[in-house]
Amino acid sequence: MILKICGITNQEDAEAALAAGANAIGFNFYRRSPRHIPPERAAAISTAPGVRRVGVFVNESPARVEAVARMAALDVAQLHGDERPEDFPISLAVWKALRIGGGALPAGLEDLPAEALLLDGLASGRTFDWRLAAAAKVRVILAGGLDASNVAEAVAVAHPWGVDACSRIESAPGRKDHKKMSEFLQAARAALGA
């Protein structure tokens, strides 16, 4: 099960996330994000053995993703753009992110060469209809508007492989509120039975 805290920009927040039970840490390499971190700075943030280091990318070439992955010691590329399977890097796991509005999930998701789908709301910090995630026939990581107040319900509805929180557990973009983060991870761990 994945318990991920995304948008980590400093060592203090990474240590607090790990102490609270996170087993995946996300670094955002999208330059237009308020949580953007240069690869060199991400590389300097240490994590414990076994914690998955995830890089968030938007429409980067596979060569660029792989170069950043080597520099920042990433385990997973979380792709948030229009990447097609032929654009996926081959040297690390891929979590393909999809923004979900209404309706149904796109067809053919089970054919993607990805370890998991990360399903996110249409806008940062917004939830979506979690019943759509429950219908997926692949591993799903829920994101978008999750915090301690709703993660148990989201897990009960969607039965995901993991959960991911970012903006709803911050004191400011790129700065985590350690109390909110700990409460989210405690609630998520209980809901997932982890």
Query: Position 14: which residue type?
Result: A
Name the catalytic one among 82, 87, 120, 129: 120
CA–CA separation, 64 vs 135, rounded Å? 33
Name the catalytic one among 6, 147, 164, 166: 6
142 touches 167 (CB < 8 A) = no
- Is 129 tagged catalytic? no
- Is 82 tagged catalytic? no
Angle formed by the axes of helices 178-192 and 11-19, nearest 10° = 40
Among residues 62, 149, 155, 138, which one has the least CA distance to residue 98? Answer: 138
First to last CA, the chain: 7
CA–CA separation, 170 vs 121, rounded Å? 17
Which residues belong to the active site? 6, 120
